[in-house]
Amino acid sequence: MNVIVCVKQVPDTTEVKINPETNTLMREGVQSIVNPFDLYAIEEGVRLKEKHGGTVKALSMGPPQAKEALVEAVSLGVDDAFLLSDRAFAGADTLATSYTLAQGIRRLAPFDLILCGRQAIDGDTGQVGPGIAEQLGLAHVSLVRKIREVHPDRLVVERMTDDGFEVLECRLPAVLTVVKEINEPRVPSIRGKLRAKSYQVTVWTAADLVAESERLGLKGSPTQVVRIFTPKRRGRGELLEGKPEEQAAALFDRLREAGVV
Amino acid sequence: MMNYFLTDEQQMIRDVAREIAEKVIAPVSAEHEETEEFAWEVMEACAQADLFRVSIPEAYGGMVPPGQVGIFNQCLVVEELSRVDAAIAVSYAASALGFFPIVLFGSEEQKRKYLPALADGKVLAAFALTEANAGSDAGGIRTRAVRDGNHYVLNGTKQWITNGGEAEVYTVIALTDPARGSRGASAFIVEKGTPGFSFGKKEKKMGIRASATRELIFDNCRVPVGNLLGREGLGFVVAMKTLDRTRPGIGAQAVGIAQGALDDAVNYARKRVQFGKPIITQQAVQHILADMAIQTEAARAFVYAVARSIDAGVEDFSKESAMVKTFASDVAMRVTTDAVQIFGGYGYMREYPVEKRMRDAKITQIYEGTNQIQRNIIGLALAKEYAAKK
């Protein structure tokens, strides 16, 4: 099983503040981390390799400093790491990002599986994983909480839904985006850290990819960010107090008042 | 903590051990304390993070370069794990106590057979010397090993064996020639599952409750001749040379316990308000904390110095090894007792982890040789040293 894990370096959002005047993220002085959801994708990739053999490669797109995130992936057990970095990639929306990553993935062929975190904690769109699948014409399953079965040509996975999960079978190669329920990411090993310390990330520019320049970066991005704002909280929750029976009675009264029952 | 100028590799070992302690041990510590169940999930995480490799030679899956020992590495890990939970740290450390005899005295074949799996952390080791009537007087052991063809037949009972029942590989000291006293003891590698080898009751302890402490029962247990470590009669040499190298690890455990208690106490004193201000502003409290910090740092510096000198290849270090174990464990006992005092009534409540540290600290003054026995070793060494000067 040859796995490619897509990794994004993001600002540590527990530290991020929004500039109230410009409504943009204030990134200055904020530490960069591996997108937390991607850590689950890395862990799953490494586990698949440990169990079924093969390789795990990590791929990212971003400025040169995103190498740090890839080096961390190496310390966690990834075999090799590749960074797509070029001014031409800057300003990409999810469409251009998916396209660029897909072109990088083509260079990393052959592969059986692409793993992504469910979404990045900075943009929160959750579009890039499925977007990569579309660009490459592959099957994808989002929000995977468990890989049940691994076969040479197909997977059986559990996809998380609001009220449970679905069991899906998909052919390989495929793209999965994973949720944090899928595993418990490991602590980097000493050997992994020693390897990461001297590891050189391979950097590819636009010239290294077979890519149409008008589909890259800002030029390839139909999405324009008009405004970023914190949505107003609509509606208020109400906590009912008292013993369980009293709460149940109060709830029933409320529902009757609302004409629901 | 002072800057001890760790190498990059040592710093990495410390960082990984700290991450395991904070991310893997801390969330399950209280539960294991309560249930007294062995923390296999932590041992697996330690294994995955390569922590069992730090004191095993490179040639057998470890990280120690040829000619070195890895005592300092071992101390770094034990200190970090003990800072969060000394009981779980003991399970890790006791495996090293069990495999050091193989590292030090094992034949090439024995090393190849046992060390790689121990380095991978797939299995744990344990060390069995103590018996019901042979504690400080280790020469009083009664477990016998009688040669019978290609086997030794073991009979007897070992007591209070850390990792008993959980470990797969046991180093067992038994008498092959009772007439020769302590020179009649030999060391054997005994695998779990060997017919005639079973486990007795699991002890309920004052502290380090999550660690497994059990009897090993040998009833006509046949051990292949190839599992003899060194040669017949070398049993006590194996035991003493091993303990000389592991006592700094007890010191490191004590330093970790003391550091954890100091961290707890300072954090509590900053938050606890009495007489309208945090108690850390009271000089009476500050002085207690200052003494705790002085002692903890001094113990750490001593542990590191002894571990480094062993790694550097000094010839005789029984005295220093005894000194550092004694000093650091006495420090841990005092510092944890003071930490409970800083917490006052809250410190006495089991809801707070600080009383656990005090209970855990006590064992460091007792096991791997009581501090009284350590002082005997030191006293004897002083007498010899000064006699030689004349």
Mean pLDDT of B309-313: 94
Mean pLDDT confidence for B287-313: 97
Each residue's pLDDT tens digit, A181-238: 999 999 999 999 999 999 999 999 999 999 999 999 989 999 877 877 777 777 777 8
B 42-61: CB under 8 A from A: 45, 48-51, 53-54
**Structural element, H or E, at residue A255:** helix A244-257
Would you say residue A23 has pLDDT above 70? Answer: no
- Classify burial at B191, counting beta carbons within 10 Å of its beta carbon; exposed 0-12, middle 13-18, buried 19 or more: middle
Non-local (6+) Cβ contacts of A166 within 8 A are A158, A159
- Quote the radius of gyration of chain B (alpha carbons, Å): 21
Query: What are phi and psi for residue A212, nearest 5 degrees?
Result: -85, 125
Q: What is the pLDDT of residue A27?
A: 66
Tell me A209's DSSP state.
Answer: S
Q: Which residues of B are catalytic?
A: 368
Q: Identify the pLDDT of residue A25.
A: 65
Give the alpha-carbon dihedral of B45, B46, B50, B55, to 10 degrees. -170
Average pLDDT over residues A145-161: 96
Q: What digits encode the pLDDT tens for the residues B26-73? A: 999 999 999 999 999 999 999 999 999 999 999 999 999 988 889 999
Element (H, E) at A100: helix A94-107
Alpha-carbon dihedral sign for residues B131, B133, B134, B135: positive
Q: How many CB pairs under 8 A join A and B?
A: 39
B31's tokens: 């539960």
When scoring B16, B76, B81 by the number of chain A Cβ atoms within 10 A, the one with the most, hence best to mutate, is B16
What contacts B53, CB < 8 A, 6 or more positions away? A190, A191, B61, B62, B63, B119, B120
Share of chain A above pLDDT 90, in %: 77
pLDDT number for residue A22: 64
CA dihedral A171, A172, A173, A174 (to 10 degrees): 50
Q: Which of A187, A194, A197 minimises the CB distance to B19? A: A187
Model ipTM value:
0.86
Residue of B nearest to A198 (CA): B8
Closest CA to A112 of A69, A150, A71, A163: A150
The model carries a pTM of 0.88
For B205, other C-beta atoms within 10 Å of its C-beta total 17
Inspect the interface and report whether the beta carbons of B24 and A187 lie closer than 8 Å: yes
Q: Note the pLDDT tens digit of each residue in A3-18.
A: 999 999 998 877 777 7
Burial B381-390 (b: 16+ CB within 10 A, else e): beeeeeeeee
Taking residues A155-175, what's their average pLDDT?
A: 95
pLDDT in tens, A88-101: 999 899 999 999 99
pLDDT-derived band at A24, boundaries 50, 70, 90: low
Mean pLDDT within B225-233: 97
Tell me the pLDDT of chain B averaged across its residues.
Answer: 96
CA distance A188 to chain B (A): 6
Rounded to the nearest angstrom, the minimum Cα separation between A83 and chain B is 25
- Structure-block tokens of residue B298: 């001094």
| Gap from B27 CA to chain A (nearest CA, Å) | 13
Residues A187, B8: C-beta atoms closer than 8 Å: no
Enumerate residues 185 to 204 of chain A having a beta carbon within 8 A of any beta carbon in chain B. 186-194, 197
B65 close contact with A: CB closer than 8 A: no
Task: Check CB contact under 8 Å for A186 and B49.
Answer: yes
Which residues in chain B have Cβ-Cβ distances shorter than 8 Å to A190? 9, 12-13, 16, 49-51, 53-54, 63
Identify whether the C-beta of residue A145 lies closer than 8 Å to the C-beta of residue A118: no
Chain B positions in Cβ-Cβ contact with residue A193 (cut-off 8 Å) = 12, 15-16
B210, B193 in Cβ contact below 8 A?
Answer: no
Residue A108 has pLDDT above 90, yes or no: yes
- Is pLDDT above 80 for B283? yes
CB-CB: which of B12, B23, B45 is closest to A193? B12
Distance from CA of B36 to the nearest CA of A (A): 24
Residue of A nearest to B49 (CA): A189
Overall average pLDDT of the B148-159 stretch: 97
- What mean pLDDT comes out for the span B128-146? 93
Asked if the model's pLDDT at residue B264 lies above 80, the reply is: yes
